[in-house]
Structure 1
Amino acid sequence: MKKATFILPVIAILAAVGLSSVFIVDEREKALVLQFGRVVDVKEEPGLSFKIPLIQEIVRYDDRILSRDIDPLEVTPLDDRRLVVDAFARYRIADVHQFREAVGVGGIRAAEDRLDRILRAETREVLGSVSSADILSSDRAALTLRIRSAAIAEARALGLEVVDVRLKRTDLPVQNLEATFARMRAEREREAADEIARGEEAAQRVRAQADRTVVELVSDAKRQSEIIRGESDAERNRIFAEAYGSDREFFEFYRSLEAYQRALLEGNSTMVLSPDSEFFNYLKQADRP
């Protein structure tokens, strides 16, 4: 009985020691085996592993691709037009041993702080070497590639691999927005004034062309009417001449009737004529039996 009482605690202790010597490495992580704070082994393959209980400890690091948003920073391009840039990076821990040596117990937080400083410095250097138009353009892949390439070497010293860097947003500082909007409004107003001036010029050309066309049409119509009137007068005179030549007395009678009709209309001026006037020749003949 006493022997069993002694053996059971020993077995429990051995089981506890055995269990504490076993650990599992997940496929999404890497692990370091530390002995008195010094790295003695690196476990990168997933599965079951062993360590010395109480002497060795396990530190785990995420092996997936991680994201890091960079705080907005101001950059000054070549044209001295300040911009606020908001970027983010994707990275992963490529060498956990070197990562532990570089950041110590600070871990991911310490690494991201140092990575932020690297990316901010490289972003300022790269974007400061181009104009603001290049930064604000839709095609900024070349700029982000330059930032990533410059950051890779420095990040490698931390055991990190920079996978990608992207510019999320590039804006003007708040204090410059109103001035920029004012310049944009002035530019649009100038363009509108130019368009209005060109429209007025085109309208003047159209009106001038229309006026010239009207003058030409009226002149041509008057010329045609004068020609027609002249031809009509000639035809009338020809008919009168033929009538006069055919029967002179009838012609004189017809012309006298026309003269009576025009002279005796109501409202005409009063005429004082002698009864023996030639004007009344045909009236006198009409009174004869």
Structure 2
Amino acid sequence: MSNKQIYKWIGLGMTAVLLIFLFITTWYTVDESEQAVVLTFGEAEDGITEPGLHFKMPWPIQEVKKMSKETFSLDFGFNEGEDSEDKVTMITGDDKILQADLVVQWKITDPEGYLFASENPEQVLFNATSSSLRGVIGSSEIDEALTSGKAEIENEVREMLVSLIDSYDIGISIIDVKLQEVDLPNKAVRKAFTKVTDAREQKQSKVNEAEKYENQKREEALGEKDAIIQRAEGDKVERIQDARGAVSRFNALLVEYQNNKEITRERLVMETLEEVLPSANVYIMNDDGNTLKYLPLNQGNMQTFAPGQASQKEDDEE
């Protein structure tokens, strides 16, 4: 075989290899869990999110960068070591030191921005997470961070982190932020703070009991007040009715007195004597001393005797 034929076969072989290489690099597949962006001479074209088989210009004219659609997690401050020195610590608004563990869930939503807006988007996310958490913790008091304020801190961190990532435009979207744990830096401090928390809870319990007792006594006093008012109202009505009855009786007596003054006057005297001296025998003599009137008030009648008879009556009674 001549050199010319050898060169010919070599050329044909290289051409075949080149054609095969070009054929292989002109198509690509995108999985359902992936997204891709086509680069033409290093510049990004429209992103590809549809799964399946796709074609492009051969390399090096075009190339494909594939990225996952899954949700990623960034663990900030998380460390399984109880007393590890590389625990992330931060200072609260009242100058106390604590540790916090935060989990950020994120996704790549703009492949072009993720590839070209930053050299290391995940590091940018980490720095933004650190800045957001430290900023919120730094404006909170330690009691809030360790007790009832965790949910509020979590919400504030989420809002601040979303705002920062959106302003950076690095192709990442924040899905969720979870504040896993907020704790004191060592066992001794945690133990002391637990005692303080227990004392505060005991104090609140005593305050609640005192308020309950106060409310109970107040209700009892209000009930007693209402009872007194009701009794007073009853006495008032009774006295008004008694007064009205007395007025009616007086008016009736006044009419009788105006019609017959003497008889009415004598009747009033006798009724008064009967009321004052219910068991007494009263003798009334006329002006000349001849006739004696005996009034047995307890019998409700009046008898008249001659003077001798009256004396005999007195002897009998003695």
Asked whether the two chains share a fold, i.e. TM above 0.5, the reply is yes
Task: Output the TM-score relative to the length of structure 1.
Answer: 0.55
Helix, strand or coil: the match of 2:180? strand
How far has the Cα of 1:7 moved from its partner?
7.2
Task: Identify the structure with the greater helix proportion.
Answer: 1
Match of 2:95 among 73, 80, 96: 80
Helix, strand or coil: the match of 2:157? helix
Sequence identity (%): 26
How far has the Cα of 1:113 moved from its partner?
1.2
1:172 maps to which residue? 184
Match of 1:51 among 46, 52, 56: 56
Superposed CA offset, 1:199-237 (max 9, x none): xxxxxxxxxxxxxxxxxxxxxxxxxxxxxxxxxxxxxxx
How far has the Cα of 1:22 moved from its partner?
0.3
Structure with more relative contact order (C-alpha pairs < 8 Å, separation 6 or more): 1
Task: Output the TM-score relative to the length of structure 2.
Answer: 0.51
Distance across 2 between alignment mates of 1:114 and 1:58: 24
Once the two structures are superposed, the pairs formed by residues 139-218 of structure 1 within 5 Å of their partners are 140-156=150-166, 157-174=169-186, 177-182=187-192, 184=194
CA contact (8 A) 2:92 2:142 kept: yes
Please, which runs of 5 or more residues in structure 1 have no aligned partner? 105-109, 192-289
Distance across 2 between alignment mates of 1:32 and 1:99: 11
1:243 maps to which residue? none
CA 1:184 to 1:171, structure 2 compared with 1: closer, same or farther past 3 Å? Answer: closer
Superposed CA offset, 1:16-36 (max 9, x none): 322210000111111111123
Match of 2:143 among 130, 133, 143: 133
How far has the Cα of 1:160 moved from its partner?
0.6
CA contact (8 A) 1:78 1:128 kept: yes
How far has the Cα of 1:139 moved from its partner?
6.1
Q: Which amino acid aligns with 1:102?
A: A
Helix, strand or coil: the match of 1:48? strand
Please, which runs of 5 or more residues in structure 2 have no aligned partner? 78-86, 203-318
CA 1:185 to 1:88, structure 2 compared with 1: closer, same or farther past 3 Å? Answer: closer
Q: Which amino acid aligns with 1:164?
A: D
CA contact (8 A) 1:63 1:92 kept: yes
How far has the Cα of 1:167 moved from its partner?
1.4
CA contact (8 A) 1:73 1:120 kept: no
Match of 2:66 among 60, 64, 85: 60
Q: How many residues align?
A: 183
CA contact (8 A) 1:27 1:45 kept: yes
CA 1:91 to 1:187, structure 2 compared with 1: closer, same or farther past 3 Å? Answer: closer
For the aligned residue pairs, the C-alpha RMSD in angstroms reads 3.0
Distance across 2 between alignment mates of 1:26 and 1:184: 52
Q: Which amino acid aligns with 1:91?
A: W
Helix, strand or coil: the match of 1:152? helix
How far has the Cα of 1:81 moved from its partner?
2.0
CA 1:117 to 1:8, structure 2 compared with 1: closer, same or farther past 3 Å? Answer: closer
